Structure 1
Amino acid sequence: MNQATLELVRASLRGAVDVEVSPTGLTPLRLPARARAQSDSDWMRIASEQASGVRLEFRTAATWLELTVETTGLYLPWVPEHVRWAVFSSTVDGDPVADARVTGGSELHLAEPGGPRFVKGESAVARFELGGTGLGERRVVVWLPQTDTVEVRDVRADAPLAPAEQLDQLRWWHHGSSISHCIEAETPRGVWPVAAAGQIALDVTNLGFAANAHLDPFTARAMRDSGADLFSLKIGINIVGGDTMKRRTFVPAVHGFLDTIREGAPTAPILVISPILCPMHEDTPGPTVTDPETGERRGTPSTTPDFFEPPLTLRSVREILRDIVQTRSMEDPALYYLDGLDLFGADDIAELPDGLHPSPAGYLRIADRFAGSPVVSSWIGAAEGSKE
């Protein structure tokens, strides 16, 4: 990648927190690079490198645009070969054009005997036909795949490219689990925080990390230092599913996460969202056990529950989060609570194919309900009021 292209890509990037630059290209990251030194989890590193919500925004009169990329996808044995494409999406002045699907990238094999294995792939070209000959400059947005790490190596078009101007939108930083990462979505624009942001005109940065919403301090610090106008946290399913906390540790961890954000954003509205429906963990603690061949999941408590320190369930997590917000909001009126069951509940069970993750249609349903929620309207209204 030459210097001019590197500067163009860096200046056009949205939804990334940091970048990694190599002699061959630029890789967007969804956490500061320094955060990787504070976690020894391969899953966390991979999830934060996968480009959910990350996009390139250009101003151009081009009729076609090409990205040369090298993708790295997570290989899981139960995922059919034909869905291991990396899907790129694009819009022109907000209107979608045909997606670009690329194959042949690198693969990271984790769920196999013998430990992690990396299989080197080849670079590929994602091409978009933008149309519009003679229409002048337009805003062209290219959404990177939420399923993959993406190194952008080159950008070409049949007209000059420039970074698009920043839109006059509130900046929203969201943190959550795989249900916010949305690997199962059909396209990057089907990621529910992305789809919701499009409906309510927010500039979204998605810190949804599959299997990794554990109230990590480095995630809280990234949000604290972001300068965002709005924050939301959708927490609980990974903590229950991983059996990583009990009530004793969960309650102060939630308070500590909120306190850290408040250090850098003392008045910005914060929305706490409890877990959506997951029947296997509504009343059954974790850990979640995944069959390494089929991907089937089930809740399997590892020990006999301790009468004095019972394990968390989704039902108890919702109660805890509601109580924390209710108590804190007496002194912090910019703190809001949204019950995850209002986004996806018992009537939506048909859109929960693996018992844990919504289907692509289920994610879009969450986006619609989030965008139409009165709580969300109040949360946004508070941010708009503070900007006036």
Structure 2
Amino acid sequence: MGKSKQRSWLCLPLALLATPATAHSDGALAANVWFAWSFELDFLLPLALVCFIYLRGVRQRQQRGRPTSHREISLVFLGLFMLFLALQSPIDPLGERSFSMHQVQHLLLRALGPMLLFLPSPQTTFVSGLNTKTRRFLARVGRLAGLSALAHPVTVTLLFAGLAYVWQYPPYFELALRNDMVHYLMHVTMLGSGLLFWWCIFDTRPSATTRYGTRLAMLWFATTASIALGAYLTMKSSVLYPVYDELGRLWVDGEMDELLGGLIVWILGSMMSLVPFLVILRRWGYKKDRIGKKRTIPASAGGDAVGNEPRDAAENTRRLGWMLGLFSGGVFLTLISVMFLSLAVRG
């Protein structure tokens, strides 16, 4: 499969801080595949621009007396590194010969990388790194009716979960492996939907309008969709993507390769949602605690009962959050048990 000689320079809007995905590499793998690192300008230039904007924002906030935490800086660059691994490391060419490695690439591209990038809620730092004209331009663009609808929680969630199903549809998936530009489009849409989804999940700025309960619902829907897709890929009885046999499948036969890929989507993809689930619950509890403290200040002269009630409510919310987190962990352990039982039956 020849590599396209012409590549489109593609940069997603800075408002989403997206970096474009590279088209996949040549189908012929060299013997030293583990040294097949790519350094493509259509990825590295936007990545460098994002790093520049973020570091400029860090400096601007430092000058204003609001230093950025080391935790935020570390997580942001770790997320960007995950995107680099997905598109520039040997994972990319291996994904052309192994369905399971392709699922690892998609997991890094649409889930782990964007999640780590936005987990510390760095939106304020990124905005601080933009000059005034750029911020005003993006603000005007953001007020467009179409973009506001795109940022709606329902739209964001359907894009994030739906695109995973669209690109796993065998005719589309195989077309992407055979055509460079379609594969490029696959990576760009997956990356863009992942950035938009995790941006909305972790945004803590005052302008953020998505309620924490809505964010938990978004996570639940996306996780359920991932479990269903992974379970289908794991439990099916026939090979869905024979194109890998034509290209030269690596390591294992088609059934085992797709079974491993299904487990990656099912287990790793769904369990990874447990971390943001707990993070949102914790932030929700802190928000209720802060609201409770504000309400107790005017009524402090009224007695301890008034002051203790909101705090007790916030404490109960946090306890409920941990209980829900433990319950979710039990659900995932149950899914793992079901998976091993199904493998035993099939064996």
TM range (shorter): 0.3 to 0.5
Q: TM-score, normalised by structure 1?
A: 0.32
Per chain length, whose mean CA-contact separation is higher, i.e. which structure has more relative contact order (CA < 8 Å, sep 6+)?
2
Which protein shows a greater Rg?
Answer: 2
Q: TM-score, normalised by structure 2?
A: 0.34
Q: Specify which structure has the higher proportion of strand.
A: 1
